[in-house]
Amino acid sequence: MTDWWRGSVTYQVYPRSFQDDNGDGIGDLKGIVRRLPYLADLGVDAVWLSPIFTSPMLDMGYDVSNYTEVDPVFGTLQDYDDLVAAAHKLGLKVVIDQVLNHTSDKHPAFVESRSSRDNAKADWYVWADPMLDGSPPNNWLSVFGGSAWQWDARRKQYYFHNFLTQQPDLNFHNRDVQDFHLANMRFWLERGTDGFRFDTVNFFFHDKKLRNDAADYRVLTVPEGNPYQMQYHLFSKGQPENLPWIERIRELMDAFDNRSTVGEMGETHHAIKMMGEYTAPGRLNQCYSFEMMGYDYTAAFFRSRIADFFAGAPNGWPMWAFSNHDVVRHATRWARYGVSQDALARQAGALALSFQGSICLWEGEEIGQTDTALAFEELTDPQGINFWPEPVGRDNTRTPMVWDGSQFGGFSTVTPWLPVKAPQLARNVASQLGVAGSVLEFYRSMIRFRKGSAALMTGWTVFHDVAEPVLAFTRETGTEALLCVFNLSPEGRSLHVEGVSGLAGPVQDAVLNGGSLTLGPNAVAFLAVSGPVRVTD
């Protein structure tokens, strides 16, 4: 089937935290294989694995030292092949992370590059001479704090790192670097991998002139917890050369049948516009950003993001996500908008799964999981440690998947790498599976409903002008239409609707009586369309 990714639902698995099979407290590939039937029953189309490559694990696998080998903590290449075979047997696609922007400083290419200024890999990374006073060549900042330049005494130069000092950025202006990564990707495609998620897809190229980034044009009266956000990153990332490189990747992908790409747009300015640019024909199949991973839970917000994307990129394709391994879980972020945690979790699931585009779910969101409160001494994440106590780091969302109510949640038989605490234990798969009204069963129903609806899978979106906190839109194809209505608040509302024949699909606290639609707190209503739709307050 071509374009299997269009309208699909992908489930992000964080391998360290999904299922420990060998009893070392860290999740692994064999553990994931054991849980694949759960994902197939949930109804998702694809499984995205966060990095599984050989790594010193200073950034939990996002510091790669070997792109064509599985880190022993997760298993072996044979374990990966077995996972792909098992997933395919269940009808699941396998998508893996590709961390192309940077390597570990332990990668052989960087070891060689830093050894001298005239070796074969000398220009594989971004090197620059110091200013006359010895300071870095410009003001670029690292996402993880401090200058993005690290002095290296071997070459008597600085090297550029957008993230940890142990994650030097590759120089994509060097075509040999591009060819190196195309070969790495081909290796995984030939093993049956169905697609790639590209980490920091807009970071690959830097400004050759090393011009300073500007101060953010948005006025700040109080410094950000992370000063990286105080700059407008005009030159350290987001360069026009990114797009031809993305097109080279697409050429590789198109040489294989039914493969897919999705990019992570790491941008705080014009992210929706850039998602469109990166998914234009001949580029990425899909792209997501952090736009919907913030604290805004209003109708105007969601409407603007979806409408802006398709207005600017009618031939592009977005992937929408509310949470992932880098942000606070949405059940925690948006708690004040819910009459209860379960009601909010169910509504958020229905909301995302009704959007035009593809959808990505973060492991545990289908059981309404919340962030784990961690003490400083429990942290492993360098971002969380460097910026303690805020902004909150990423360990809080990465704690192990909770399968049952046992001591370690069924994740492991020994103490896990991150703790499983009581509030998280209370929300487990076993206690919700088969239980009518549970968050898990609601997600299962909603995914089935989406997959059975042409309107939700590929239909266009028409928004209706109703007041906050209600979001109402019609998804429609040439032959099918569905009205989707959400009360994004813990207080009841009511609407008048015309052109509908009745409720359809999963419903939460919504009643249709003639032309009157009564919406309880965090209500979800899908309505079959029978004529021209009109929705009024």
Catalytic residue positions?
A: 199, 264
Q: Cβ distance 115 to 203 under 8 Å?
A: no
Structure tokens at 44: 């998702």
Beta pairing partners, 66: 54
Q: Where are the alpha helices (DSSP H) in 334-432?
A: 341-352, 382-386, 395-398, 422-425, 429-432
Residue type (1 letter), 410: G
Interior angle at CA 403, CA 449 and CA 442, nearest 5: 20
Q: Alpha carbon of 293 to those of 61, 348, 477: distances in Å?
A: 22, 12, 28
Among 12, 18, 10, 16, residue whose Cα is nearest residue 34: 18
Q: Are 90 and 46 in contact (CB under 8 A)?
A: no
Say if CB 140 and CB 148 are below 8 A apart.
yes
d(CA 100, CA 204): 8
The Cα angle at residue 264 between residues 260 and 268, in degrees rounded to 5: 150
CA angle (238, 53, 119) in 5-degree steps: 65
DSSP state of 111: H
- Strand 260-265, strand 195-198: pairing: parallel
Instruction: Compute φ and ψ for 215, nearest 5 degrees.
Output: -65, 145
Contact yes or no for 386/366 (Cβ under 8 A): no
Integer Cα distance of 167 and 479 in angstroms: 51
- DSSP per position, 302-355: HHHHHHHHHHH-TT--BEE-S--TTS--HHHHTGGG-SSHHHHHHHHHHHHTTS
Distance CA 236, CA 222 (A): 24
Structural tokens at position 333: 């972020």
